[in-house]
């Protein structure tokens, strides 16, 4: 029997990974702290590279592993073809490498992936509706602009004194891109 390997993803640095896969005996754990939409998930790439024939990949839930349905199908099919099984604990599903061509298993995966994608879309829609209601009530103003007349004047004065944009950015503790925007005002 192969190793039991876990992939854990949390959306932000301050989120706790302890609740995911708590109590399981795992030989190796890979953890990414980034958004699910983020294409760059270095620990997922390392995890997928680490896995070998006979291993079992444990994931808390489907949305922790994949960004969308196509990504989910691609990852699971690739792992199953390599002899690696995948277990999603929240959903109580295991996609065994022994049943890689099982049409019912594939149907389950597609349905669950579609439901998860729909659920995320509904959450985003409710969030947009909530923001629109708050804006209409004057309670939501968005992020306060950090650009002030003083900051623009300071940036222009520094440019006039001969400082380059990188030096201005460093002196004002802002990005070079922000310097270009300030100087365009």
Q: Any idea which residues carry the catalytic annotation?
A: 11
Sheet order of strands, 28-33 included: 28-33, 4-10, 56-59, 85-88, 93-95
Token duo for residue 130: 């909530």
- The CA distance from 50 to 41, in Å, is 14
How many CB atoms are closer than 10 A to CB 3? Answer: 14
**What distance in Å separates the CA atoms of residue 3 and residue 25, rounded to the nearest whole number?**
10
CA-derived radius of gyration, the chain: 23
56-59 vs 28-33, strand pairing mode: unpaired
């Amino acid at each position: 029997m192969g190793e039991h390997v876990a992939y854990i993803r949390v959306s932000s640095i301050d989120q706790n990974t302890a609740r995911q896969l708590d109590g399981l005996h795992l030989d190796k754990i890979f953890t990414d702290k980034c958004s699910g939409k983020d294409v760059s998930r270095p620990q997922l790439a390392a995890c997928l590279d680490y896995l070998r024939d006979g291993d079992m990949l444990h994931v808390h839930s489907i949305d922790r592993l994949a960004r969308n349905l196509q990504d989910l199908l691609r990852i699971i099919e690739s792992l199953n073809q390599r002899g690696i099984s995948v277990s999603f604990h929240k959903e109580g599903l295991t996609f065994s490498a022994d049943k890689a061509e099982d049409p019912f298993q594939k149907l389950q995966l597609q349905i669950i992936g579609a439901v998860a994608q729909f659920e995320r879309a509904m959450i985003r829609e409710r969030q947009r509706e909530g923001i629109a209601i708050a804006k209409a009530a004057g309670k939501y103003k968005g992020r306060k602009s950090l650009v002030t007349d003083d900051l623009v004047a300071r940036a222009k004065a520094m440019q006039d004194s001969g400082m380059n944009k990188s030096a201005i950015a460093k002196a004002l503790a802002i990005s070079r891109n922000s310097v270009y925007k300030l100087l365009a005002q």
